[in-house]
Structure 1
Amino acid sequence: MEEQLCQEFATNNFVVENDEAAQQCDLLWFGRGAGASMCVTFGLKPDELVSSWELFYLNRQMDGGRVLNSHLASFRQFLERERRESFRKKQTGLHFYTEDDIDMLLDDGKQNGELEENPLPGTPRAVSANKQISNPNILFEGSVYEDPDNLTPPPVASKTRGVGTNTPGDIFTPKFGDTPFGRRSNKCTVQSVFNEHLVEETSDSVSPPASEEEVVRRIRPIQRCQVDVIGTWPKSGCRYMFVRTENRVNAIERRMQKFATSISEKLQCNLATHVAVASQEKVTVVGRLCCEGEGRLNEKSVLLEGSIEHSNGMRVRLDLRNVSQFSLFPGQVMVVEGQNPSGYCLVASRILDASPLPSLTKLSQEEDPPAKRQAIHLLPQDPVQSETSHQLCILTAAGPFTTSDNLAYEPFVELLAYARKKRPNLLVLMGPFVDRDHPHIKQGNVDKTFANIFEEQVRTRVEEYCEEMGEGARVLLVPSYRDAHHDCIFPQPPFDANGFEDPDRQITLLANPGLIKCNEITMGCCTADVLRHLSSEEVSRAPPGVSSDRMTRLASHLLAQRSFYPLFPAAQGVSLDLSLAPGSLDLPCTPDLLLLPSNLAPFVKVLSVPLTSSLEHIEETGNVAATVKSICVNPGHLAKGITGGTFAEILIVPYIENAQSQILESRAKVTIMRI
């Protein structure tokens, strides 16, 4: 078992510290003299254990790719917590009290000087250690156990942590300060800052004034930014999930043809070669990766599927023994150079998997005829033109926007309060807004329709925010396939504009995924957790002694493959439909700013992908300028469980004359904050 674990760790670019670490992974001691195999205890295979380690490794933001002895105890607690959460999700209408619940109740009692008689409805009262319980049935105040003659059935405990019985009215209007979110102590704390040296030219925030007249005098109108929507998307009310196999095949074929055309133009090579034709000479073929069988992709199960046009869709095994560096996932389109002496196995010597597009600014400056340029569809421009000499402030947050113990949307209210103080030019809100995975939504503990919840809790508050902040404030709404009140499909149409009262055109409704141009920068948004999905499917190899940032590598796949969601087949739970709007998942240009909310730890990364489709070419020529760069931001989720999460504040400073660098990487300040 230890050898299998070490081999699986090595396959996923993890180095086990020593034999003792491998033994602890295989044999974890609980107590004195009692040993149990971790794989057997948690019901995991070696590959599943390593996958769990990868998730633990990414969330902890550890570096080096080493499995250390000091991390194994925390990893064991992580596995135990995941197993408990998995068991809870299978139950309905039950709540399991854990040490966290007890600690929360004890902490509240210590802060108040003594424990309350009934801290939360439906929870047990604290009993003194020296006091014996004469009647064990008297545990809950006002329940059937207190009065044996009372035949009223006991209340059913809520599934959410730390919460007892809730009526439909309670979950929408809880008592102020009586929730774990209201009692949090780390309000608006800064988690991390990218380009901390950049400062705002003028602050639009409002400090405590002496009088109300001073407030009016000091608040200046918000500089209105120009927002244009780029690309195509499915139409609202479309008929989906009736996709035919032919449509899927055509979508995959179109991706391979576009990729092959791009590579052949850049490298001046012929890619019209059959992938399964035996040849003793070197051949260059194009295809997409797929897994030989069910389960996760690994180096021994990689197949290359050729295009229908040149290879009739045939597949060959891909041998990667001679490739020193790669990062692969199912659905990835690439060009492979190698030998195929038998016709059944292609021994690769070189892999080209990146063909990004330039940014929109570079596309507009090209001198090529319009027929050779990427077709970009823009909505009618906003009548109010913006000045690029002003700084741009963007506030972005991703759902869920309410905690799991109620539907009062307390984090969302706090976010809008912060936005009123900060006064950003653009407020980007990414779904889910009415999360279908919310415990009260799943159990049906609501007396309102999902559309009414969105209207009362989200749409009304957004309209009030726009009216209060003036016509200069802009709001961008991006849906999610987890929204219970919207089309559960990906790619996803935008919200219906007829449901919003927006006389000043302050609210922009974007599809999922979507791309916009805000002043001089382009910004892409995708609410599908593509980073998490790629992380669970990717297999990579790096040369000895060379380390690479995993999050940067995963996010760079979107630019390299020219797609918001290059993974195929899609992850479980993603209702991918490739027949609605062909090209809606494609990136028409490389966005300057990429917003990818994920369950992984929030981060800010600078993506750099070579335009030449080969890192070796850059190393040989030293032409680092032949790359496209983008800033990727994972703002996290605004609500995490029963408490608050994180959001991101982005500041774009204007161009500076005679400056050495005008790229967005040196002009953007990104702050990850806790709500």
Structure 2
Amino acid sequence: MATDEEIKNEFKRSGFILVEEDEILKRCVTLCINYSLKPSDLVSSWELYHLNRQLLDQTVKKDDMDGFVLHLQNEQKESIMRVEEAGLHLYSNRDVDMLLDGVQEDTEEIVTTPTNKSQRLHPDPFDSISRSRDYGYSTGKSVGHVTPFGSRIEKFVVKFNVGNVAAHAENGNNNDVENSEDDIIKRVQTSQRCSLKVNGSGPEPGCRFMYDRTEDRFSALEYRIVRHADAFAASGLYEEQVDPAVASQRSIFAVGMICCDGEGHLNDKSILLQSSAERTSGQRVPVDLKRLDQFSIFPGQVVGIEGQNPSGHYLTASKLLDSVPLTLTVDVDLPPAKRQILDQEVLVPAEESCQKSEVSFIIASGPFTTSDNLLFEPLNELLAYAKRKPPQLLVLLGPFVDSEHPEIKKGAVDATFNEIFQVEVLRKLQDYVEFMGSEVRVVLVPSIRDANHDFIFPQPPFDIHIPDLEHQMTSLSNPGTFEANQVKVSCCTVDVLKQLSGEEMSKNPSGVPTDRMSRLASHLLRQRSFYPLYPPPESLPYDSSLAPKALQISSIPDILLLPSDMRYFVKILSLGEEEDAAKCVCVNPGRLAKGEGAGTFVELTYKGGPESMHASIISI
């Protein structure tokens, strides 16, 4: 049974202050009993509720508890539904459709004359299935059925703007996209075509994976520690690095990785520092951070610590450094072969190279279909919007064929996952690109939740080969980096923000407001890694043999895309001193589909720097 003291300590460890402490703790104990929760699970749920509500201060108030109870009830309801659905066995939806709707088994084919490009991309047998009255992979609802998504009233509502974009995406100007079902979308000319370079440092399609060994995992961690140690030494700002496990009466400077002493979350008594096995003893030493007024740590974080260890058994920190100087250019410690890859222009002819200039984006993250069907209505709406207000670059982040979709999980589809991807995603994007002309480009980034792709992280790109459109449609690895008009964009579709949120331990000066989402996103840049957390959760198929190079952030990107289940945002991150601070625009576009309803996407225009950036979060 959870006690008041245990719950209080968990809130304190996560940096929260209890207002009206006795009443809140009494209610929290009741919640732990009613919902069979541990104190750590209760506080983790509170952190998620706190982030989704975007509460500014780190306090827990009595007035917020009613909303928190509803949040817990929704979590329990979703958990029960997942358990119930896992025990179901459904026959084919086509069989159900024939019984309910009277559809004949032999569905009449619609005779058409596809274009040559359509013939090359999709064979005729599957065309007949996709053009029939009911898709073989629908959810028992006919195409003519009005879905909850289709019956929504408000469409393309601007949630909030960043920068001077009030006139950029007015609601009234967007409603004409959906005037009627028979509305013919007129072609709108885009601005000048942007250049595009792709960083080829990620895994290639067909790569060998899931053969990593224990020594690969050790080498990946050792590589990160040594790399950070070299960066601290090269800066010339710190003392010579020593072994933190060796007793010393003087102040020392050591570099190592934060670890947790045992299972569970970090707390004041479980913080360990693991040093390099190559440079020092490689031993783990307990760390005391009580003297520090402010810090933010998590397992796997590489830090520099100034402090004292007179006994050799306990390192008392007087200063903690969680960041090394980041450059705006390619790191000098990269091998020549990799620098050449970074400089190589993959998808753009030489005459298109240009100086950093304005680039317009539409950025959306999957799922791209609602949970009640596989009609991909949100994707259709997004492409309709992109035809009316065409960007230079349409960036789509997975999952596309979501393995968490109820129908995919139950196996209640009559087509392969790759067929669904080809028809519902690639064909629609091909039609969009052909309609808009050569001015637009589309970038796709896979997700480990894509049922039709390799379940591995880091993840290779989709193997997409569409004749005549290979310069307009491309796929990146996950994580991946590309440049558009010299504007560097990095992205990672793993929900690293949510995972960091559950593992981070932080302390802030009393009364000083903090932006936790900005802090979580900044960890990636400070650690020079797209995924600095270690060990990763069991649900993440982390491959240590591919991680060292593929997860490395060599320089600060102009735009960092981190799709997450957390609340959508567009924030400007700043690293370094005020005068020499490097700035990066971090974007979480939210999910395009949320359950049976509509989600959000981002419309962004980047004009040479974060200060002149315009962005809008738009509900579809």
CA gap of 1:242–1:275, structure 2 versus 1, over 3 A, is same
Partner in structure 2 of residue 481 of structure 1: 448
Pairing partner for 2:317 from 324, 342, 348: 348
Identify the residue that residue 34 of structure 2 maps to in structure 1. 41
Distance of 1:308 and 1:172 partners within structure 2: 59
> Is the 1:316–1:344 contact (alpha carbons within 8 Å) kept by the matching residues of 2?
yes
Find 1:184's aligned residue among 122, 147, 152: 152
In the alignment, which of 342, 350, 359 is matched to residue 377 of structure 1?
342
Partner-residue secondary structure (3-state), 2:223: helix
Find the partner of 1:447 among 414, 417, 420. Answer: 414
Residue in 2 aligned with 1:91?
84
Pick from 582, 598, 601 the counterpart of residue 564 of structure 2. Answer: 598
Whole-Å separation in 2 of the counterparts to 1:579 and 1:370:
18
| In 2, Cα distance between equivalents of 1:518 and 1:21 | 55
Q: CA deviation at 1:393?
A: 1.2
Shift of 1:273: 1.4
1:11-22 correspondence to structure 2 within 5 Å: 11-22=13-24
Offset of residue 573 of structure 1: 1.2
The answer to whether the 8 A contact 1:271-1:286 is kept is no
Contact 1:330 1:568 in 2 (8 A): yes
Tell me which residue corresponds to 1:554: 520
For the pair shown, the structure with the greater C-alpha radius of gyration is 1
Given candidates 618, 624, 630, the residue that maps to 2:584 is 630
What residue in structure 1 maps to residue 28 of structure 2? 26
Q: Deviations over 1:420-445 (max 9, x none)?
A: 11111000001011111111111000
1:170-214 Cα offsets, whole Å, 9 max, x none, are 43874346110001122110111111357669xxx99979xxxx9
Corresponding residue for residue 671 of structure 1: 616
Indicate conservation of the 8 Å contact 1:609/1:629, yes or no.
yes
Letter in 2 for 1:633: V
Find out whether 1:50 has 2:43 as its counterpart.
Answer: yes
Q: Aligned residue for 1:462? A: 429
Give the Å deviation of 1:45.
1.6
Contact 1:194 1:671 (C-alpha < 8 Å) held by counterparts:
yes
**What is the distance in 1 between the residues matched to 2:551 and 2:340?**
14
Distance 1:215 1:461, change over 3 A: closer
Is the CA contact 1:491–1:585 (under 8 Å) kept in the aligned structure 2? yes
- Residues 277 and 168 of structure 1: is their aligned pair in 2 closer, same or farther, counting only changes over 3 Å? same
Deviations 1:293-338 (A, max 9, x none): 1011122211000101123321000111111110000000011111
* 1:318 to 2:287 alignment: yes
Aligned residues: 567
Residue-by-residue CA offset, 1:443-477 (whole Å, 9 max, x unaligned): 00011111101001101111111111001110000
Separation of aligned partners in 1, 2:175 and 2:353: 27
1:169 CA drift (Å) = 5.0
Cα displacement (A) at 1:358: 2.3
Counterpart AA for 1:242: Y
In the alignment, which residue of structure 2 is the partner of 1:288?
A: 257
Contact 1:564 1:586 in 2 (8 A): yes
Give the stretch that moved more between structures: 18-27 or 472-481. Answer: 18-27
2:160 alignment partner, SS class: strand
Counterparts of 1:335 and 1:390, CA distance in 2? 38
Secondary structure of the corresponding residue to residue 591 of structure 1:
coil
SS in 1 for 2:203: coil
Q: Secondary structure at the match of 1:91?
A: helix
CA distance in 2, matches of 1:93, 1:318: 44
- The 2-side partners of 1:512 and 1:419 are apart by 24
- C-alpha distance in 2, partners of 1:267/1:231? 32
Match of 2:597 among 643, 658, 664: 643
TM superposition outliers: structure 1 runs of 4+ over 4 Å: 166-169, 197-201, 205-209, 368-371, 373-376, 386-390
Question: Residue 356 of structure 1: CA displacement?
Answer: 4.5
| Structure 1 residues 482-540: Cα deviation after superposition (integer angstroms, max 9, x where no partner) | 11111100000001133x33446101211000111110311111000000000000000
8 A Cα contact 1:223 1:386, kept in partner: no
What CA distance in whole angstroms lies between the structure 1 residues aligned with 2:176 and 2:54? 38
The answer to whether 1:472 aligns with 2:465 is: no
- Once residues 376 and 100 of structure 2 are traced to their aligned partners in structure 1, the CA distance between those partners, rounded to angstroms, is 29
User: Which secondary structure state, in structure 1, belongs to the residue aligned with residue 525 of structure 2?
Assistant: helix
Change (3 A) 1:56 1:433: same
Structure 2 CA distance for aligned equivalents of residues 518 and 235 of structure 1: 21
Give the 3-state SS of the residue equivalent to 1:377 in structure 2: helix
CA contact (8 A) 1:231 1:584 kept: no
In structure 2, relative to structure 1, the CA distance for the partners of 1:581 and 1:314 (3 Å cut) is: closer
- 1:250 aligned partner, one-letter code: S
Shift of 1:626: 2.2
Paired with 1:10 and 1:493, the residues of 2 have a C-alpha distance of 41
Q: Judging changes above 3 Å, is the alpha-carbon distance between structure 1 residues 334 and 197 closer, same or farther for their aligned structure 2 residues?
A: same
2:326 — aligned with what?
357
Name 1:102's counterpart in structure 2: none
Cα drift, residue 375 of structure 1: 6.9
Query: C-alpha distance in 2, partners of 1:501/1:206?
Result: 33
Structure 1 distance, partners of 2:174, 2:18, is 53
Separation in 2, partners of 1:46, 1:466: 52
Cα distance in 1, alignment partners of residues 364 and 477 from structure 2: 16
**Residues 266 and 169 from structure 1, CA distance in 2 versus in 1: closer, same or farther, beyond 3 angstroms?**
closer
| Contact 1:6–1:22 (CA under 8 A) maintained in structure 2 | no
Structure 1: how far apart are the matches of 2:356 and 2:562?
A: 28
Query: Which position in structure 2 is the counterpart of 1:248?
Result: 217
Alignment CA distance shift 1:482-1:320 (3 Å): same
Using the aligned pairs only, state the percent identity: 43
- Give TM-score, length-normalised by structure 1: 0.79
> SS where residue 309 of structure 1 aligns?
coil
Identify if the C-alpha distance between structure 1 residues 424 and 167 changes in structure 2 by more than 3 Å, giving closer, same or farther. closer
CA contact (8 A) 1:5 1:22 kept: no
Amino acid at match of 2:602: A
Structure 1 residue 168: Cα displacement: 4.2
Amino acid at match of 1:19: E
For residue 506 of structure 2, the aligned residue among 537, 540, 556 is 540
Q: Which moved more, 1:451-460 or 1:644-653?
A: 644-653
Query: Of the candidates 374, 384, 389, which is equivalent to residue 407 of structure 1?
Result: 374
Distance of 2:590 and 2:304 partners within structure 1 = 34
Q: Is the 8 A contact 2:190 2:392 kept in 1?
A: no
Helix, strand or coil at the partner of 1:633: strand
Give 3-state SS (helix, strand or coil) of 1:259's partner: helix
In structure 2, give the amino acid aligned to 1:643.
Answer: G
TM (norm. structure 2) is 0.86
1:117 aligns with none
- 1:508 match: 474
Q: Is the 8 A contact 1:646 1:674 kept in 2?
A: yes
Aligned twin of 1:661: none
Structure 1 unmatched runs, 5+: 28-36, 96-120, 123-140, 144-165, 611-617, 619-623, 656-663
Give the match for residue 528 of structure 1. Answer: 494
User: Any conservation in 2 of the 1:172–1:407 contact (CA below 8 Å)?
Assistant: no
Change (3 A) 1:650 1:142: closer
Do the aligned residues in 2 keep the contact of 1:221 with 1:470 (CA within 8 Å)? no
Taking a change above 3 Å as real, the CA distance of residues 142 and 481 of structure 1, as seen in their structure-2 partners, is closer
C-alpha displacement of 1:86: 1.0
Pair 1:644–1:176, CA change in 2 (3 A): farther
1:305 maps to 274
SS in 1 for 2:374: coil
Distance 1:591-1:470 versus aligned 2 partners, 3 A rule: same
Could you say which residue in structure 1 is the equivalent of 2:72? 79
Matched residue SS, 1:497: coil
How far off its partner does 1:244 sit? 0.4
Q: Could you say which structure has the greater relative contact order, defined with CA pairs below 8 angstroms and 6 or more residues apart?
A: 2
Q: Are the aligned partners of 2:216 and 2:544 in contact in 1 as well (CA < 8 Å)?
A: yes
Within the alignment, does 1:9 sit opposite 2:2 as a pair?
no
2:231 to 234, 253, 262: 262
- For 1:295 and 1:389, the matched residues in 2 are separated by 46
- What one-letter code is carried by the residue in structure 1 that aligns with 2:616? T
